Structure formats: C-alpha cells, structure tokens
Amino acid sequence: MKAIQIPGLQQMAVVELPKPEAKAGEVLLKMEYVGFCGSDLNTFLGRNTMAKENVIPGHEIGAVIEAVGEGCPDTLQPGMVVTVNPYTNCGHCASCRNGRVNACQHNETLGVQRDGAMREYMALPWQKIIPVKGVNTRDAALIEPMSVGFHAVDRGQVTDIDTVVVFGCGMVGLGAVVRAVQRGATVIAVDLSAEKLQIAKDLGAKYGINSKEENLLEKVMEYTDGYGADCVIEAVGSPITYTGAIDIVSFTGRVVCIGYAKSGVEFQTKYFVQKELDIRGSRNANPSDFRAVQKYLENANIPMDRFVSGVYTPETAKDGMEAWAAAPAQVFRILVDFR
C-alpha cells in the first residue's frame, strides 16, 4: 500500500508498506481523505521538535471501515464512514488521574510522536474509531481540527452573556467560532485574511477585525463598550497574538491558549494580577467534542467546500505542502485523497 513519509527537511516521499490486518480488538480502515494540519507543516519545515524521524504524517481522518477484528463491538461494521480520535493516554499520569485524558502527559498523537494516517490502510484499536452519520468522508476529515476549537470554548466556560474574541480563523479557530456562537456568545473574529473573516461571519461571528489594517485594541473596546472581551481564544501561536490577548481581555476575563508560539513571549505580568485573569491551556479534544462537531456538520447548512483549500494525490502531496508553506494565511485545510 502507499504511504507518505517526511524523511527530512522539506522532503516528502511516497513509500510502499505492507497492508495491515485487523487483529483482535482492532478495526482496519480504508483511508479516503486525510488532512494536513499545522503540526504536519511544521514537521515538513523542520520546526516540529516532537515529531519522530521519517514520520508518516496525518491525524485528520475520513475513512471507511474495511474489516473488524475479533472482540470489537457489533456497532462497528464494514462500510461505515468514520473518523478517529488520534490521541493516546497512559491512564496513570496526573492528567489521566484527573479525568482529562486529552492532556495526557505521555500522549502520542498520530502523525507526530507515532506514525500517522497518510496511508491507504491503517489498523487501530476499536476504542479510537468514531462512526459519523450524515457526513461524507471528505468532511469527516475536518472533524478533528474543528473539535480542538470546540474544546477550547469548553475550557473558556463560554456562555450566552460573554463576548468572545477568537484569534485566527483557520480550521481550529473556526471551530471555536462555531462553538461560541452555538453557546449564544457574541463573537469577534480576528485574522489577517479578509476571506477567512468573511467565513467566520458567515458562521455566526458578529464582528471581524483585520488586525493588519485595523487597531485591534480600539476595535475590541468599541465592540465591548470599553470592557474588553470576557474570553479570548488564541488559535494562532504567535507572540503578537499572545500579548494581544492579554491587552484586549477584560478584567477578570479568561484567556484560552491553543497555539504553540515558536519563540519566547514577553508579558507585562502586572496585567495578570491587576485583571485577575484566568489563563488556561487547551490541548487536543475530548470524545464529546468530536460528537458535537459531528452533530454540527450533520445538521449545518453550510458549503463545506469553502473549508478545503486543495485536494491532492499522494504523489502530489508535496506540492500542496509547499503551497501552504508559501502562503499560510490563504490555506484552510489541504486534503490528500487515498481513494
């Protein structure tokens, strides 16, 4: 079977691997669409220090069940459209002990610390398989990144009396926009792309701020009657957006951090104290977040084509990654078609 590897800096190769079988407790998946995410891009560019050598990337999955091994529940049947929870949890660390398995200290995400889903077939434990109804395999590959945004809104304890600022309108940020809107919050989307801001508005954001062209602090204060945002969700991973989040959040507000900044960030820590802020990390997603995204996609009347910037074959996948690296602000999701 075909698989994609990242053997070195800005390298991508199609290799042949044996087709796996579904052992006891496993489900064999036929991959149809697998998405590249930011961690894959950083691996390709040599910036992902967590990625294993010669890794097979990919953990955003739209697949069909090919076969079911012994000991799996009858609810999983060949032909079903599924996605995958791509994280592991050890069951013993502080996070697992506290029931927050999404933040397991020893997590190994598909395509990062262990080989991922950019291959024609993959066998996985049945517990990681998530059946999806009313969603095709292409759109199923969008569930995981959106679920990360859904989880961030949960971490922010967003309610209908909140004004929420979302930094970054990629797939993760749009997931946060959707979930905050679902909870009744007033949402302000911030990005450098007019196209992404328009999509955020189409998904329910009340305001959009192009921080390249507008004064972020002034606009947020205008939209919040001078109070600042009750909750800020950082889905970019830039020192500028991290410090900006502290500037625009209200006194006693919440800042939820998803993005990894690639360099150190200098803060005026007096604002942490004076504003009595809650600053929270948000990592991965929980099964409930996956279910919530699936339900949204099943019932949402939105053109999902807008979220897919390009679909490539395994042989042309490097072209897609290079295009993303050249113009990161213009890309939502790049998918590889393994059908």
Give the model's pLDDT for residue 38.
87
**Is the torsion defined by CA of 113, 118, 119, 122 positive or negative?**
positive
Radius of gyration of the chain (CA): 20
- Residue 331: is its pLDDT beyond 90? no
- Residue 306: is its pLDDT beyond 90? no
- Residue 301: is its pLDDT beyond 90? no
pLDDT band at 258 (very low <50, low <70, confident <90, very high): very high
Give the model's pLDDT for residue 207.
98
- Residue 135: is its pLDDT beyond 80? yes
Rounded Cα distance between 162 and 154, Å, is: 13
Tens of pLDDT, residue by residue over 289-298, are 999 999 999 8
Give the model's pLDDT for residue 312.
96
Tens of pLDDT, residue by residue over 193-221, are 999 999 999 999 999 999 999 999 999 99
pLDDT above 90 covers a percentage of the chain that reads: 87
Q: Which residue has the higher pLDDT, 332 or 78?
A: 78
Give the model's pLDDT for residue 114.
95
Mean pLDDT value across residues 160-167: 98
State the amino acid at position 106 in one-letter form.
H
Give the model's pLDDT for residue 302.
78
- Residue 6: is its pLDDT beyond 90? yes
Q: Which two tokens stand for residue 104?
A: 């397991």
Tens of pLDDT, residue by residue over 91-104, are 999 999 999 999 99
Give the model's pLDDT for residue 23.
95
Query: Which residues in 154-267 belong to E strands, given as ranges?
Result: 163-167, 186-191, 207-210, 229-234, 249-257
- Residue 58: is its pLDDT beyond 80? yes
Mean pLDDT value across residues 79-95: 96
pLDDT band at 190 (very low <50, low <70, confident <90, very high): very high
Average pLDDT, the chain: 94
Give the model's pLDDT for residue 268.
87
* 3-state class (DSSP) for residue 329: helix
Mean pLDDT value across residues 138-147: 95
H or E, element range at 337: strand 333-337
Q: Of the candidates 95, 84, 203, 101, which has an alpha carbon nearest to the alpha carbon of residue 147?
A: 84
State the amino acid at position 82 in one-letter form.
V
Tens of pLDDT, residue by residue over 216-253, are 999 999 999 999 999 999 999 999 999 999 999 999 99
pLDDT band at 48 (very low <50, low <70, confident <90, very high): confident
Give the model's pLDDT for residue 263.
84
Mean pLDDT value across residues 307-336: 91
Q: How far is the CA of 10 from the CAs of 5, 254, 325, in angstroms?
A: 11, 38, 10
- Residue 152: is its pLDDT beyond 90? yes
